[in-house]
Amino acid sequence: MERIKIFKYLLMLFLTIIFLPLQSHAANDSGLLWLVNKDNRLSSSFEPVELGEHQGIKLHSAAKDAFMQMLKAMQSDGIHGLRLQSAYRTFNYQHTVFNKRIKELMAKGYSAIDAEIEASMSVQPPGASEHQLGLALDVTLDGSLTESFGETRAGKWLEERSHEYGFIIRYPSKKTDVTQIVYEPWHLRYVGIPHSLIINNLDLTLEEYLSYIKEVEAYIYWDEYNEYYLVTYSEALPVELSHEVVDISSLNKKSGYIITMRKGY
């Protein structure tokens, strides 16, 4: 009996030693706040690690779970028929889509340079699309992705409530000067809670939110359960992390971290 106990103890010790570095490594950077745009491109070899699948479309598993929950809420509000059109895209796929758009524009008479500039207003060049993260979702009712989606019941619902499920409308109509992307009411980005709630409250884009947190260094968000989230910016990762940490996401080129903690009142 004693032997079994000792064996179990040794086994646990062994497993702890083996898995502890792996766990802390995984907890280091969720990537949920990674900014991807024309100035911050992903390499051609970047692939997200946690890909799930919804109706044959690959996406980050956290975004998938949140999307499923959100669909249920929409349905209970009587809004049906919203589906995923596109989510995770590889670098190569983005390359193909971008080149196709340039060719279409050149066929209309654009010069090669003008076509590239014009194309990049609606299609992100390879490496510059956050679809490569698996955290961006294009949603549709009828297969089309047009501005008029924002006027549909589904589009309005997403505008008003998608932040409750960790999503933001990534390219709002009044922020095209910041995002450099036209209004895309169908394009959702998963950033998780509480970031989506804060971004919505402060009416910011992801670009603006990341700069803001970096500037203020700490931000407290109270939720309806009288608990609060503390979002902090840190240049380096603390050696010891408290159990209250719910998310860590690095900023671009590891220029710091946004550490999110949840605390009970």
Q: Which amino acid is at 259?
A: I
Which residues does 147 contact at the CB level (< 8 Å), separation at least 6?
183, 185
Distance CA 34, CA 70 (A): 22
Instruction: Determine the residue with CB nearest Zn ion.
Output: 187
| Nearest residue (CB) to Zn ion, 44 versus 122 | 122
Residue 261: name the closest of 238, 231, 241, 221 by CA.
231
Smallest gap from residue 239 Cβ to Zn ion (A) = 38
Residue number with CB closer to Zn ion (88 or 209): 88
Longest distance between any two alpha carbons in the chain, whole Å? 84
- Give the residue with the Cβ less far from Zn ion, 186 or 221: 186
Nearer to Zn ion, 64 or 187 (CB): 187
**In whole angstroms, how close is the CB of 91 to Zn ion at the nearest point?**
15
Catalytic residue among 2, 104, 160, 184: 184
| Shortest Å distance, C-beta 125 to Zn ion | 14
Contact positions toward Zn ion, by CB under 5 A? 138, 187
Gyration radius (Cα) of the chain, Å: 21
Residue 182: which of 124, 106, 105, 125 has the closest Cα? 124
User: Catalytic site residue 47?
Assistant: no
| Closer residue to Zn ion (CB): 175 or 257 | 175
What does the alpha-carbon distance between residue 2 and residue 244 come to, in Å, rounded to a whole number?
Answer: 37
CB of 184 to Zn ion, least distance (A): 6
From the CB of 32, what's the least distance to Zn ion, in Å?
17
SS in 3 state form for 47-93?
Answer: CCCCEEEECCEEEEHHHHHHHHHHHHHHHHCCCCCCEEEECCCCHHH
Active site positions, annotated = 184
